[in-house]
Amino acid sequence: MRLSDRSVRTGLTVLSVAALCAVALVGGLAYRSTQVPHGPQHTQAVAVATPAAPRTAAAPEAEIAAEAAPPGVEMVPEAESPLPIELRKSVGHAAGLNKVKDPLRLVSSAAYAIDIATGEVLVKKNEDAILPMASLTKMMTGLLTVEAKLPMEQIITITEDDVDNERHSRSRLRVGTTLTREEALHLALMSSENRAAHALGRTFPGGLGQFVNAMNNRAKQLGMKSTTYSDPTGLSSKNESTAHDLALLATAASRQPLLREYSTTPRHQVALGGKTLQYNNSNRLVKNPKWDIVFQKTGYIIEAGMCITMNTRINGRNVVMVLLDATDKNSRLADAERVKRWVLAQAGADSMAIAKHTPGS
């Protein structure tokens, strides 16, 4: 029987999808067998003085590549490793939020930007849509940790409870690794280390359940009316919020000096198990001299898409921006650049209007 061209194309498409699923399944099995330890390793994580690397002014904002590790230092892969676009579909895309038109032509499904000094809303797009927030969750994890004034030098041990058995996210912190609460906070904020973030919640007074309750209570105090937390990492899609609510959280977190410092560290070296590991910031814009970022956090799970929030200085204004559900890292950064250009353009328009109505001008 002769197949039509359409039948052939359909068959090839099915085979392609099956092949991609098989590769993903095999990769997932291989990852589990090598990354999840079967017994405690008892390794002490110790911070190492990290040599400063020069910023490259010539690179465009959305095209800053990850730097090479110094000799004798092993680079830790980024925590955010999305599947190919054709194998994932976020909640926002499923709802068609990404198709909503806006003046900036943003790729992100939801966006919100505000001048925190004046309260002026600068950008908004689906800002009240409730979406998974991924690792933007760790902003609240960090905020509660510093507000509780727990001893930062206290040693925390990574346990089996901290291992992600749902998404099998990567981590170099094996079961049995010990590190200070301060080190765990640093890694959770700047490189989105999930086991470190989970350990912070698990070792909170009263345990993990009490920590999650505290997250939800603090959200209510901040006026985050559409926000729900279920874990301290953001790996669960039940962690939900809006761009508007997350701007409130980012503003509050930005007031904490330790959170500002740790979230914007470009790179951080840790001595772990006889090796020196270099963690890089999950937001490449912190290494860009054209950006003045006070505080930031990135996030990704399939359901949330690529997310980012930043408190950044633009033309003398402290602007908090939130972008949810971009399709990939480049579009996430490109949207941030669009917001920045929009704010600069609005400032220019305001200056022209003032000059036009000034006597003698």
Q: Considering the candidates 138, 297, 329, 340, report the single residue annotated as catalytic.
A: 138
Q: Which sign, positive or negative, has the C-alpha torsion 330, 332, 333, 339?
A: positive
Residue 12 lies inside a defined structural domain of this protein: no
Residue 7 lies inside a defined structural domain of this protein: no
Instruction: Verify whether residue 192 is a known catalytic residue.
Output: yes
- The alpha-carbon radius of gyration of the chain (Å, integer) is 22
Residue 141's pLDDT is what? 98
Could you tell me the two tokens for 127? 């800002």
Residue 60 lies inside a defined structural domain of this protein: no
Q: Considering the candidates 108, 109, 135, 263, report the single residue annotated as catalytic.
A: 135
Residue 30 lies inside a defined structural domain of this protein: no
Residue 119 lies inside a defined structural domain of this protein: yes
Residue 62 lies inside a defined structural domain of this protein: no
Instruction: Verify whether residue 138 is a known catalytic residue.
Output: yes
Number of domains present in the structure of the chain: 1
Rounded-to-integer distance, Cα 153 and Cα 117, Å? 34
Residue 99 lies inside a defined structural domain of this protein: yes
Instruction: Verify whether residue 125 is a known catalytic residue.
Output: no
The one-digit pLDDT tens for each residue of the chain (361 residues) are 433 444 434 443 433 434 444 434 334 333 232 333 334 445 676 666 555 544 433 334 444 455 677 777 787 876 665 555 544 689 999 999 999 999 999 999 999 999 999 999 999 999 999 999 999 999 999 999 999 999 999 999 999 999 999 899 989 999 999 999 999 999 999 999 999 999 999 999 999 999 999 999 999 999 999 999 999 999 999 999 999 999 999 999 999 999 999 999 999 999 988 889 999 999 999 999 999 999 999 999 999 999 999 999 999 999 999 999 999 999 999 999 999 999 999 877 555 444 444 455 4
Residue 42's pLDDT is what? 52
* CA distances (Å), origin 61, targets 10, 107, 311: 40, 16, 16
Statement: the pTM of the whole predicted model exceeds 0.85: no
Angle, to 10 degrees, between the axis of helix 181-190 and the axis of helix 194-202?
A: 140
Residue 32 lies inside a defined structural domain of this protein: no
CATH code, domain carrying 185: 3.40.710.10
Residue 71's pLDDT is what? 78
Q: Considering the candidates 192, 236, 241, 254, report the single residue annotated as catalytic.
A: 192
Residue 347's pLDDT is what? 79
Asked whether 356 and 124 are in contact (CB, 8 A), the reply is no
Q: Which domain holds residue 241?
A: 40-48+76-356
**Long-range contacts formed by 115-122: CB under 8 A, 24+ apart:** 115/317, 115/318, 115/319, 116/251, 116/254, 116/311, 116/318, 116/319, 116/320, 117/317, 117/318, 122/319, 122/339, 122/342, 122/343, 122/346
Strands (E), 204-335: 240-241, 267-272, 275-280, 293-301, 305-314, 317-326
Rounded-to-integer distance, Cα 318 and Cα 306, Å? 23
Residue 116's pLDDT is what? 96
